[in-house]
Amino acid sequence: MPQSMSEYAEASVQARKIAQEFDVGSDQLCRVMRHFVQMMRDGLINRRAYQLPSYVKTVPTGTEKGRFLAVDLGGSNCRICLVDLHGDATFTVIRNKHTVPAEARINQSYKHVFSFVADRIADFLKTHVDLGPGETQRYQLGFTFSFTYEQTSLAQGTLIRWDKGWDIPDAVGQDPCAMLQEAIDDLGLPVQVSALANDSVGTLLTRAYTSGQGRSTLGAVIFGTGTNAAYIEKLPNIKRIETNREAGGIMVINTEWGCFDEELKVLPSNQYDHELDANSGDSGSQMFEKHVSGMYLGELLRLAILQLHREGAIQTHFNDGSCLFQKGGIDSSFLSRLAGNDARNPELASAIVTDTLMAENVTAADVQSVQIVAAAIARRAARLAGASLAAIIVQSGRLGTAPSSGKLSNFRVQEYGTPIEAGRPFVSKFQRLFGSLRLLRRVLAFLGMGIVISVRPPLESPEPVTNPVDSPEEAIIDIGADGSLIEFHPTFEMDMRAAMREIPEIGPDGEKRIRIGLAKDGSGVGAALMAQTALQEK
């Protein structure tokens, strides 16, 4: 779809103004990226609700083999999978998908939801696994639990908080694996919950396994109902846990970046963001997720269309039962359809708006007004996604030597969740002065004036973060991706990449090295890979 508002010739003035409220400039992208890098480094040192260690210390090579069960619980769904790893970077999956009842997602007791999951596992085994009489083999199960938890080992963790509309108070502070195992044991199933997986960690492992090039895989991003990311961090940098740092090595980190910048220090926000947050069940939290993930983009569009409707800026009549008048009534898939090829045809675009919003007498101008606002909301989400992925790449050092603002020793933290920038404006000015003085020194030497000017670059680290590129494959920074937004919205990845090119630490050359590939079934296969790791460790 067009990226310029001038191409929506008939869109209303009010719609153009709303679209402008979702604009994110290059300077703001840089502020977001640098602030996120600081939060990442803060979370590596201090115990936060983000930058959570996964205890996964190896990355798949594609040679892993075995049959494993996987459960993926998150959003409103529960998926049960049987995964066969063939050892040649391929796998096969049998899966069932179930909707978790609302009364189980919002309940005082955790027993309802985990009993529901255990029942679905029992049904799955009866259908797809020939247990045989007196079956004693215990199937290893990887459990993808897509909520915020602090992991304490490969198979243990503590639930920190619910999100995505879930609320089960007595589960908070407990181990998800233990709660699921309790329900499985109540049914007498031959299943051992052996690994606790996050969806983004699982996607990273799946991407490394299927690419067959584990050395080049750096991270994974999820842009679906929710958003999250995982990446490979150097073990010596992870100071929030006790580990043998002197031995070196790596660990996969679950960023939980959906909760980044809850104070809205750098995230661009407008009246629609504030209204959405105020009406959510977790006001004041998951602020990055509320700007980027599919669960909220449709609601932002709904609020904006309501504003146009109230102001009389669109003439379309909406029936009383329209999803426009229902909180959460518009899905993010509506934004993808409005940006797709069908929507280039005015008649088809009008049909999309008419059918989705239960509208009558839809005018061409009204369709363009809805399209221009939807495009602006999706574009902002993608650009912020690009800035956040840039933060991971900068922190990793995979592009070469990190900028001086990137050394772990060059930032400090005041209070919980309030990292402060280490004099960034001063550093930039000093670096420019340093460059000028270096040039002056050369000029004076050329003139034979014998004047020596020596300036040490500020914030120099004796051990710069580097990752030398030894081969073309190592030059690639491989990122696994999953989620409906990045898979189905036609301009999402394009806008992400444009944002990264605008960030000096990445730039056009760096962006060309970034390979983003879909990792389908990432959470399920990744959980199976973690279960395989747990079995090997035994």
**Catalytic amino acids?**
146, 161, 199
The amino acid present at 268, given as its one-letter code, is: P
Angstrom CA distances, 256 to 74, 85, 388, stand at 14, 28, 12
Angle between helices 294-310 and 13-21 (to 10 degrees): 150
Q: Which residue has the tokens 């105020």?
A: 278
415's tokens: 């209070």
Widest Cα–Cα separation across the chain: 95
Torsion of CA 231, 234, 236, 239, to 10 degrees: -10
Report CA dihedral (20, 23, 26, 30) to the nearest 10 degrees. Answer: 140
Q: Which amino acid is at 492?
A: F
Q: How far apart are CA 227 and CA 239, in angstroms?
A: 25
CA distance from start to end of the chain: 53
Query: Which residues 6+ apart lie within 8 Å of 266 measured at CB?
Result: 28, 31, 32, 35
For residue 346, the one-letter residue type is: P
CA atoms within 13 A on the CB side of 25: 4
Angle (deg, nearest 10), helices 271-278 and 294-310 = 110
Buried b (16+ CB within 10 A) or exposed e, 485-498: bbebbebbbebbbb
Other C-beta atoms closer than 10 Å to the C-beta of 285 total 17
Q: CA-to-CA distance for 519 and 485, rounded, in angstroms?
A: 14
Q: Is 530 exposed, middle or buried (0-12, 13-18, 19+ CB in 10 A)?
A: buried
